[in-house]
Amino acid sequence: MKRFIGFVRKEFYHIYRDKRSLFILFGMPIAQILLFGFAITNEINKVEIAILDHAKDATTIEIINKMASSKYFSINRYLDAESQVEGVFKQGKIKAVINFEKDFGEKLIKNGQSTIQVIADATDPNTANSITNYIQSIIQQYNQSININQAGGTQVFMQTHMAFNPEIKSVFMFVPGVMTIILMLVSAMMTSISITREKELGTMEILLVSPLKPFQVVLGKVVPYILLSIINAIIIVLLSIFIFKMPVQGSLLLLGAESVLFIITSLSLGILISTIAETQQTAMMISLMGLMLPVILLSGFIFPISSMPLPLQLISNTIPAKWFIIIIKGIMLKGVGIAFIWKETVILFDMTLFFMGISIYKYKIRLE
Amino acid sequence: MKTIGYLIQKEFKQIFRNKGMLPIIFILPIIQLLILSNAATYEVKDINFGYIDSDHTTSSRALIERFSSSSYFNLLPPFPSFAEANSAMLEGNVNVILEIPNNFERELINNKKTGLGLTVDAIDGAAAGVESAYVNQIVQGFNQSISLRAANRNNVNGLSGLITIIPSYWYNITLDYKTFMVPGILVLLVTMITLFLSGMNIVREKEVGTLEQINVTPIKKSQFIIGKLFPFWLIGLGLLTIGLVLAKIIFDIPILGSLGILYFYTAIYLLVILGIGLFISNFTETQQQAMFIAWFFIVIFILMSGLFTPIESMPKWAQVITTFNPIRYFVEVVRMVMLKGAGFTDILPQLWKTLAYAILVNGLAVFSYKKVN
C-alpha cells in the first residue's frame, strides 16, 4: 500500500511539474464550454432572405412585413427578376428567395387563391426545411386571420407547452453534449498517452521489474486522472449552472456519482487504447481520430439518434457518450431519479467492466 | 534540392514503416466518412406521438385519425391519464403529448373556441420547434375542414383567401443530408489527419532527441521544414482524392464545379493547416502538449465551421471568431464548388483569405523555428 501511494505521488509530480499541460487541462474545457455554450445553436435565427415581389400590392406588403418582423428572418434585399436568383445563391449569403406571383392580392380576392413560391438554397437541407416551415406557419396564421372574418367557423386553438425547456434554449441541448465530449476525450487521451509515454521512453520496463503489481501500476496511473477529471466535471457543472442557467432538477449527488462512473468508463477506454498502441503518436491518433467524430456525431450531441438509419442507431449503442448524455439530460433537465436511468447506468457500468477486462487480458508484463 | 529529396524520402520511410499508424491514416478516415455521413441528419421523423382522448367522440377520433395517417408521427396507444403519458416522456419514449379535453366536440358544435393541450419534449429545441409545427399543420388542416363545413352551412360561397406555398429546393431537390454532409466530413477528416500528423512530428523528434542530431547537420532551416511538411501535404491531397472518389461512387454526390479549382484551393488550404501544425510543434516540448493544443483547436474549428450548425445563427462575436477558422472557408468552398458549380471568381473571397492565412501562419512558424536553443 505504501509503495502504491508512493507511485501515485510520482504520477502527481509528473502532472504537476508539466505546467503547460496542466494549464491546458483546466483552461481548455473552460474555454470550450464557454465558447460553445454561447455560440452553438441549430435553430435558425435572422436568416437572410430576398424578396421577389411581382405584385407589390397591399397584401404582399402586409405579408412581407410579417416576415420581416419575425425573429427568424431578416430581409436582405429585393430582387427584380427570377434570373437574379442564381447569382444571389452562388454568393451564398442569402438562403431563400420569396417569390410573390403577379397580381397576388387581386387573385386572392377574386379567385380565392394565390401562390407564393419559396425558393430555398437547399445545400443546407436543415436551414432550407426550417425556412419553409416557418414561412408556412406565418402564412397559415395569415390565412386563418382572413378566414375567421369571413366564415366565422369554430377554431381549434393549441396551447403548446414546451416541457423541460420552456424558453427553447439551445444551451440545454448542447451543454450536456460538450461536457460529455470534454470529459470523454480528456480522460481517454490522458491515460492512454501517459501509459504509452512510459513505454516509449523505456521507463515502463523499470516499473515492470519493480515489486509493484501490474494492476497497481495501471491503477496508480489512473487515480490522479480520476481526480483531475472530477475537478473538471465540477467546474463544468458550476459553469453550466451559473453562467448558462441550466437547472439541476434532480439530485446533485446522483449527477456526481454518474459523472464519476462515466469518467471511469472513459479512463478504462484510455487504458484499453494504451494496451493496443506502442507509441504516443498511435495512442493519440486512436483516441483523437478514432473517438472525436464518432462521439460528436453518434452520441446524440448534435444530431437526433432517432432520425438515423437503423444500422447507425445500433452502432450508436456502443458509444458510452450516448448513454451519459441521456443520463445528464435526465437528471439536470427532467429531474428524474435513478428509477428512470438505471438502464443507462448499468450499460455504462458493463462497458467499464468490458474495457477493463480486455485491458487486463491484453496487458503485457513482459517485453517483446 | 537534393537534400530536400533525401529528407522527404526519410519522412516517407518513417511513415510507412510504422505499421500501427498506416491504417489510422488511411483506413480510419475512410470508414468514418462512409459511416458517419449517414448519421448527420436533422430530419425529424417517426415522432412518438402520445395522446389522451378524454372526449371519445367522432370529432376527437377524426382529429386523431389525421395524426395516424401522417407519415411524420408514430401513433402510440392512447394513455389513460396525463400522469402516465408524462412518465413515458420522462423515460424518453414519447416526444409529444396531445390532450383532448372532454367537452371538445360540444364546444366545437356550440361554435365556441376550443382548446387542445400539447406538451413537447423541448430539450432539443430545434426538433421541438419542428414537431410542434407539424402538429400545428395537422390541426390547421382540421380547422380548415370545419371552416369549410361552417361556410357551407352559412351559405358563404366557399372560402376565399387561401394562400398556398410552393417550396422549391435548389441544388438539393430531395433535401438529402448526405449531399450536404459528405463534402464537409471529408474536409474535416483531411484537416484532422494533416494537423495531427504535422503537429506531432517535429515535437516527436524533439522528445526522442533526434532533432538535435538534425540541427547539427548543414541542413538549412527552410530545407528541413519543407522536408517535414511536404509528405503530409501529399498525404492530405491523397486522402482528398480517395474521399472524392468514394463520395462519387458510393454516395453519388454531384461534383458540378471543376476539380482543378477544388485541388488548387486544397493545395493552398493544406499549407495553412501544416503551418498551424508546425507552429504548435515549435511551442511545445512534448507530444502530449502538442496533442492537447491541436485537440483544442480542432474541436473549436469543427464546431464553429458551419458544418453541423449554421454560422448565421451564432451571436455576432462568435461569427467574428469563425472568420479566423480555416475549416469554415474550406467547407464553404467545397460545398460551393461541388454542389453549386461555383467557378474561380465565386470562391475568390475565400481563396484570398486562405492565401493570406497561409502566408501569415507559415511565416510565423518558420520565424519561430530555432535551430539553436
For the stretch A155-166, pLDDT in tens is: 666 677 777 777
Residue of chain B minimizing CA distance to A201: B208
CB contact under 8 A, B112 and A154: yes
- Distance in Å from the first CA to the final CA of chain A: 29
Mean of the per-residue pLDDT values of chain A: 84
pLDDT at residue A149 above 80? Answer: no
Confidence of residue B161 (pLDDT cuts 50, 70, 90): low
Exposed e or buried b for every residue in A177-199, given b needs 16+ CB within 10 A?
bbbbbbbbbbbbbbbbbbbbbbb
* Residue bearing cell 462568435: B318
pLDDT the model gives residue A95: 86
pLDDT the model gives residue A204: 81
Question: Cα separation of B41 and A105, whole Å?
Answer: 38
Span B219-250, pLDDT tens digits: 888 888 888 889 999 999 999 999 999 989 98
CB contact under 8 A, A172 and B92: no
Q: Mean pLDDT highest for which of A55-69, A128-142, A208-222? A: A55-69
| Three-state SS annotation for A72-91 | CEEEEEEECCCHHHHHHHHH
Q: Nearest-CA neighbor of B200 among B275, B286, B272, B273?
A: B286
pLDDT at residue B327 above 90? Answer: yes
Q: Mean pLDDT highest for which of A195-204, A259-268, B143-152? A: A259-268
Q: Mean pLDDT highest for which of A171-175, B214-218, B359-363? A: B359-363
Q: Which residues of B touch A96 (CB under 8 A)?
A: none
pLDDT at residue B288 above 90? Answer: no
CB contact under 8 A, B315 and A158: no
- Give yes or no for a contact between A305 and A313, defined as CB atoms under 8 angstroms apart: yes
Question: Cα separation of A354 and A362, whole Å?
Answer: 12
pLDDT at residue A43 above 80? Answer: no
In this prediction, residues A22-26 reach a mean pLDDT of 81
DSSP H helices in B52-95: 58-68, 82-91
Q: Which of B281, B287, B331, B339 to mutate to test the interface with A (most CBs of A within 10 A)?
A: B287
Question: Cα separation of A112 and B148, whole Å?
Answer: 13
* Residue A361 near chain B (CB below 8 Å): no
pLDDT the model gives residue B153: 67
Confidence of residue A148 (pLDDT cuts 50, 70, 90): low
The residue type found at B240 is L
Mean of the per-residue pLDDT values of chain B: 85
Residue of chain B minimizing CA distance to A195: B288
Lowest mean pLDDT among A16-20, A53-57, A278-282, B40-44: B40-44
Confidence of residue B210 (pLDDT cuts 50, 70, 90): confident
pLDDT the model gives residue A366: 65
In this prediction, residues B58-76 reach a mean pLDDT of 88
CA B96 to chain centre: 26
Domains in chain A, start-ordered, CATH in brackets?
2-39+172-367 (no CATH), 46-163 (3.40.1710.10)
Question: Cα separation of B352 and B137, whole Å?
Answer: 46
Question: Cα separation of A233 and A249, whole Å?
Answer: 18
Q: Nearest-CA neighbor of A57 among A97, A94, A109, A96?
A: A109
One DSSP character per residue, A157-171 reads EEEEEEET-TT--HH
Span A81-117, pLDDT tens digits: 888 888 888 777 888 898 888 888 888 877 777 888 8
Across the A:B interface, residue pairs with CB atoms under 8 Å apart total 392
Q: Nearest-CA neighbor of A139 among B114, B67, B140, B175?
A: B140
Question: Cα separation of B199 and B188, whole Å?
Answer: 16
Cell of A161: 407547452
Complex confidence, ipTM: 0.78
Lowest mean pLDDT among A252-261, A280-289, B238-247, B255-264: A280-289
Question: Cα separation of B282 and A41, whole Å?
Answer: 35
Question: Cα separation of B238 and B225, whole Å?
Answer: 20
Angle at B232 between CA B11 and CA B351, to 5 degrees: 150
One DSSP character per residue, A219-255 reads HHHHHHHHHHHHHHHHHHHHHHHHTS-----S-HHHH
Question: Cα separation of B303 and B127, whole Å?
Answer: 19
CB contact under 8 A, A123 and B321: no
pLDDT the model gives residue A368: 55
Helices A252-276 and A214-242, packing angle to 10 deg? 140
pLDDT the model gives residue A250: 87
pLDDT the model gives residue A248: 86
Q: Residue B28, class by beta-carbon neighbours within 10 Å (0-12 exposed, 13-18 middle, 19+ buried)? A: middle
Lowest mean pLDDT among B91-100, B108-117, B157-166, B340-349: B157-166
pLDDT the model gives residue B234: 93
pLDDT the model gives residue A199: 83
